[in-house]
Amino acid sequence: MSTTLEALINRPYEYGFVTDIESDAIPKGLSEDVIRLISKKKNEPDWLLEFRLNAYRHWLTMTEPVWANVSHAKIDYQDIIYYSAPKPKKKLASMDEVDPELLRTFEKLGVPMHERKMLANVAVDVIFDSVSVTTTYKEKLAEVGIIFCSFSEAVQHHPELVKQYLGSVVPSADNFFAALNSAVFTDGSFCYIPKNTRCPMDLSTYFRINNAESGQFERTLIIAEEGSHVSYLEGCTAPRFDTNQLHAAVVELVVLDNAEIKYSTVQNWYAGDENGVGGIYNFVTKRGLCKGVNSKISWTQVETGSAITWKYPSCVLLGDNSIGEFYSVALTNHHQQADTGTKMIHIGKNTRSRIVSKGISAGQSNNSYRGLVKISAKADGARNYSQCDSMLIGSACGAHTFPYIEVMNSTAKVEHEASTSRIGEDQMFYFASRGIGGEEAVSMIINGFCKEVFNHLPMEFAVEATKLLGLKLEGSVG
């Protein structure tokens, strides 16, 4: 990574909060009172408070998982502020006021001008007024009956839907971090696609209508009714700064008969400095339930940020003929650690799943693929294909593969293959002899390596992701 970018990433975020933080934050620590307070501040119904308290009580009995191939200092859960109200940011008058390094990153990534302004928190001009953009979107979605709003709004306006589906895929006691999230989540996204509706556009979190900070314990719930289809984008390629070190999000997807959800993520959170100091711990539980027949869930992720990533987007293939897909690129550099992969749980008949995982390790980082393919006894005719490739750049990094394959049905077919490679001197020489410089060559090789995954990203994401990887690896190959 270039020194300028490092400087950029390491810089404390100067343009942030200006309001008095003390005024609407509660003291550090976690207790039933804190949860009651969060619930009250958000004006939640009793059943949701009950849900939170149950999760919290169960969380108290759980211990932090240690099986992941990552190491970090012990997290003090009493040293975290679990609620602070969304704070208005100071608006900048024009792009001239924005940090030039941030602009350079945008330039490199090719982020569209109006998005740059939103990301840099610049007041947007008349033509690209974010309010008008989002209003247009909102109108368009409302026309077809799609609900896309913040989780808090959904709790107020669509409590019946939230109540029906919340915790139905990731139970509140599922794992340590999911339980913590269930107890203290403050906001997130909610999306409901009605029957036989094809969402007319890609839904993207950073165009979410209320534009509030989603925060540390994000909760996402997406429901695709029979015959519907939605493509959902989470995150963005621009570096994201955050003062919270621990992030424990939960994402639940429910897909009914003949419906499909395509969920794409690009994650580029602060990864710590080159000595591994700081950076975000990203401990996420993402799971989709293919509840109906012929339903489909497709996860695509590009993970480049965070000091530690602990994330296994999974598919529970309950409906007959349902399909689960997982396409992932995980890049680690410096001292980053990633333990990521997927779970494909085949329960219904003729269920199919496909896993393509590409891990790139550079610097002193460690990158692990951990996956489970489970074919239960009743999943006749289940089929799985998994492929996980690793690339190592430099001799101080590590690549690990932990695939679990559990088969209990004799008509199942499961295939797994993994390989390891690196950017060879001969490849670099080949590019050099054709007049292509080091950085560009690396970018092209990486792009080729990840092509299978990028092909599944929405167009604009794919273009940015390619550039992002090149940017993250700047200076890694000499």
Partner 1 sequence: MSAVMKAPDVRDAYLASLAPDVHSLAGPGPEWLNALRAEAAACVNSQPYPTTQDEEWRFTDFGLLRKTAFASAADISLEVSLADIEPFVLPESEKSRLVFVNGIYAPHLSACAGLPQGVVISNLAAGLPLHDAVIRTHLAQQVDFHNEAFAALNTSHIRDGALVLITKDTACPAPIHLLFIATGADMPQANYPRCLIIADAGSTCALIEDYVCLNQGVYFTSAVSEITLGENAAVEHTRLQRESLSAFHMAYGAVALARGSNYTAHNIAFGARISRHDLRIKQNGEAAQCTLNGLALISGRQIADTHTVMDHTKPNGQSTQLHKCIADGGAHAVFNGKIFVRKDAQHTNAAQQSRNLLLSNKARIDTKPQLEIFADDVKCAHGATVSQLETEEMFYLNSRGLDALTARNLLIYGFAEEIVDRIPVTSLIKQLSKTLSEQILEHT
Q: Which of 222, 412, 446, 465 binds partner 1 (CB under 8 A)?
A: 412
361 and 367 Cβ atoms separated by less than 8 Å: yes
Closer CB to partner 1, 122 or 393, in the complex: 393
Q: Which residue type is seen at 441?
A: A
350 touches partner 1 (CB under 8 A): no
404 touches partner 1 (CB under 8 A): yes
Q: Is 206 exposed, middle or buried (0-12, 13-18, 19+ CB in 10 A)?
A: middle
CA distance 207 to 136: 11
Q: What residues are paired with 288 via a beta bridge? A: 253, 315
Q: Segment 59-78, which members bind partner 1 (CB under 8 A)? A: 67
Q: Segment 413-472, which members bind partner 1 (CB under 8 A)? A: 413-422
State residue 458 phi and psi, 5-degree precision.
Answer: -60, 150
**Distance in Å, CB of 193 to partner 1, minimum:** 35
Nearest Cα to 246, choosing from 220, 216, 277? 216
CA distance 33 to 117: 39
Closer CB to partner 1, 323 or 382, in the complex: 382
Closer CB to partner 1, 4 or 420, in the complex: 420
70 and 341 Cβ atoms separated by less than 8 Å: no
Q: Which of 135, 164, 196, 411 binds partner 1 (CB under 8 A)?
A: 411
**Distance in Å, CB of 329 to partner 1, minimum:** 18
**Distance in Å, CB of 6 to partner 1, minimum:** 22
Closer CB to partner 1, 67 or 96, in the complex: 67
Question: Of 115-123, 329-337, 396-404, 439-447, which segment contacts partner 1 by CB under 8 A?
Answer: 396-404
351 and 380 Cβ atoms separated by less than 8 Å: no
Closer CB to partner 1, 79 or 415, in the complex: 415
Q: Which of 25, 81, 405, 444 binds partner 1 (CB under 8 A)?
A: 405
CA distance 74 to 111: 37
Q: Which of 75, 133, 407, 463 binds partner 1 (CB under 8 A)?
A: 407
Question: Of 84-92, 159-167, 257-265, 397-405, which segment contacts partner 1 by CB under 8 A?
Answer: 397-405
**Distance in Å, CB of 354 to partner 1, minimum:** 15
Nearest Cα to 65, choosing from 328, 308, 242, 306? 308
Which residues lie below 8 Å from residue 446, measured CB to CB, with a gap of 6+? 360, 391, 469, 470, 473
Q: Which of 377, 437, 440, 451 binds partner 1 (CB under 8 A)?
A: 377
Closer CB to partner 1, 181 or 390, in the complex: 390
Helix (H, G, I), strand (E, B) or coil at 252: strand
Residue with tokens 């959902």: 232
Closer CB to partner 1, 227 or 371, in the complex: 371
Q: Which of 21, 123, 396, 432 binds partner 1 (CB under 8 A)?
A: 396
> How many residues in the shown chain lie near partner 1 by CB under 8 A?
35
134 and 211 Cβ atoms separated by less than 8 Å: yes
281 and 75 Cβ atoms separated by less than 8 Å: yes
CA distance 341 to 5: 28
Closer CB to partner 1, 67 or 139, in the complex: 67
**Distance in Å, CB of 65 to partner 1, minimum:** 12
242 and 218 Cβ atoms separated by less than 8 Å: no
**Distance in Å, CB of 448 to partner 1, minimum:** 18
Question: What is the 8-class DSSP label of residue 382?
Answer: -
**Distance in Å, CB of 250 to partner 1, minimum:** 25
x-or-dash string of contact with partner 1, 26-65, rule CB under 8 A: ----------------------------------------
CA distance 458 to 202: 8
User: What's the CA dihedral at 97, 99, 105, 106 to 10 degrees?
Assistant: -20
**Distance in Å, CB of 348 to partner 1, minimum:** 16
**Distance in Å, CB of 432 to partner 1, minimum:** 19
Binding footprint of partner 1 on the chain (CB under 8 A) = 67, 375, 377, 390, 392-422
